[in-house]
Chain A
Amino acid sequence: MALPLPPGLTHAEVSFLAEMELVTVVPRQRLESIDLLGGKTPALRPPHRADLPLWLALLLKKQRRANIVPPRWLHPSSLAEIIHRETKETPLAFSEPPPAPARADTANPGYAHRQGGQQHQRQQEQEQDGPIMSAPFRPSCTADAPAGYLPYHWLEVAEALLAHAGDDVASLAASSLGEVRGLLRDLVEVRAAKMRSSTAQLEGFGGGLMLLRGVGAMELAESRGFVLGVVDGVRKIGASAEAARREMEEERGGEEGESDEEMGL
């Protein structure tokens, strides 16, 4: 027991990683480009929007030097749509992660080497070659992120924005902060219930798969221990049957095995 922590990232680590997500800010003051490890941040010229990492945006927000533009999926209408989809349309699956073509929706000079720094139409993006960005490198929390899709770090970013830039969220959504907060709570509960019931997918033999597509980082951190425990338990229960099945297969496939070995030689 060298490491007292359970496997996987803790909540604090996940929310730390989430601070790398890009968010859109409207600066109130000029700020020259900062040379960060992840690349240069764009120079801030009010009133032009710019994409900054979440931690920097929150810092500027606290110093009243910028306002944060919340991502579109945080609007009450988008959240309500997602909740509707999760409860009514696909009551078993988690809602889809943002579609891949959205990765280049925004130009981000700070990360130009990664993004190519150009605006693309969707059709062009699909043809565009180059590496497909995964969660932390995709501008999924900027103002241009598509509505109706939850990015990987949705809960962390949403909580951070609600806690520290609540007035921005409220003003842009043209609704009360409480409404967004309530919808988020509902969404968390709906998805937690779904996570619990998804263990039923493990019931049948051979169907030992839990589909966790579209589950956010924070939800993973929360349910990791439980899900791993369930899967491990199912594995132990099925172990003897599995061993018996293997033995049978080996007996039957003995000849084929030999020929394989010969080919290997």
Chain B
Amino acid sequence: MSYYDIDSILTESELDIPDLGYLDNTPTQPLKTGAKVNLPLWLAEMLVIANTGDVEGKSFVTFDLPPALGNDVIQALKADPRAVPLRDQSPHFYGLGTHMMELSEEQELAAVLRKTFVTRASEVALHARKVGGVGHRGKGAEEGSNLGIGGAGEEFLRGLDEWERKLFRKAHDGAKSGKEWMEGVKKH
């Protein structure tokens, strides 16, 4: 999935590389030392992994975390995971996060992502159950409160990343088939 993720990592070159200038929009020049270029994740990942084979033991590229996993986002997630529309950061937020963690081994990032995922998952399940009118008959009061979720809920659902969308679909399918069965019992 993240193979197609155009979301790039900021990669910093440590060497002059001839003929690669086009990466920095200067096709005629060599790629300068210290130039920052955006590369697709799959390519940047390979470069960072290949670092170890360097001659002088010095890596020829260093990388920064993509803005989706930047400090602002992480702080916001720490404050309230549910309030951050992850999709605006990256459609493959968690996928990106796991790739980054493989490269950088940041303990804090892992903990924040885990908390975010788990907290948002229960919220996702709640919406999955309510969307499509799973609310039962004869519960007018509860229906009302569900409508209350509705407005904020749509916004939340728009902010789901791909993992969460998948999760939403699973939870929704479960709730839906449960409802169908419940109605089927009476006909049987």
Interface residues of A (CB under 8 A from B): 6, 10-12, 15, 159-160, 163-164, 182, 185, 189, 192-193, 195-197, 199-200, 202-203, 205, 218, 221-226, 228-230, 233-234, 236-241, 244
Contact = CB atoms under 8 A, between A and B. Distances in A.
Given A197-B122, A199-B121, A200-B122, A240 B102 contact: yes
Q: Decide if the interface of chain B is mainly helix, strand, loop or mixed.
A: helix
Given A222-B175, A225-B171, A236-B94, 5 more contacts: A15-B181, A222-B178, A223-B174, A234-B118, A237-B94
Closest CB pairs A-B (n = 7): A225-B170, A11-B181, A226-B171, A196-B125, A240-B101, A222-B178, A196-B122
Contacts of A11: 177-178, 180-181
Contact of B186 (A163, A182, A205): A163
Contact of B97 (A159, A196, A205, A237): A237
Nearest to A182: B138
Q: Which of A6, A196, A237 has the most CB of B within 10 A?
A: A237
Contacts of B42: none
Contacts of B174: 221-226
A123 to B, nearest CB: 39
A159 B181 CA distance: 10
Contact of A226 (B119, B167, B181): B167
A237 B100 CA distance: 10
Interface residues of B, number: 42
Contact of A12 (B107, B125, B181): B181
B177 A10 contact: yes
B182 to A, nearest CB: 7
A230 B167 CA distance: 7
A94 B73 CA distance: 35
Given A11-B178, A237-B97, A240-B105, A229 B166 contact: yes
B178 A237 contact: no
B110 A238 contact: yes
A205 B113 CA distance: 12
Contacts of A244: 105
Given A11-B177, A12-B181, A224-B174, A233 B110 contact: no
A226 B174 CA distance: 8
B58 interface: no
A223 B128 CA distance: 11
B47 interface: no
Contact of A233 (B121, B129, B136, B188): B121
B170 to A, nearest CB: 3
Contacts of A10: 177
Interface in B100-120: 101-102, 105, 107, 110-111, 113-115, 117-119
B185 interface: yes
Given A225-B173, A241-B105, A234 B114 contact: yes
Interface string B90-103: 00001001100110
B166 A205 contact: no
Given A12-B181, A241-B110, A164 B188 contact: yes
Contacts of A197: 122
Nearest to B138: A182
B114 A203 contact: yes
A3 B98 CA distance: 29
Contacts of A185: 136, 138-139
Interface in B132-173: 136, 138-139, 142, 163, 166-167, 170-171, 173
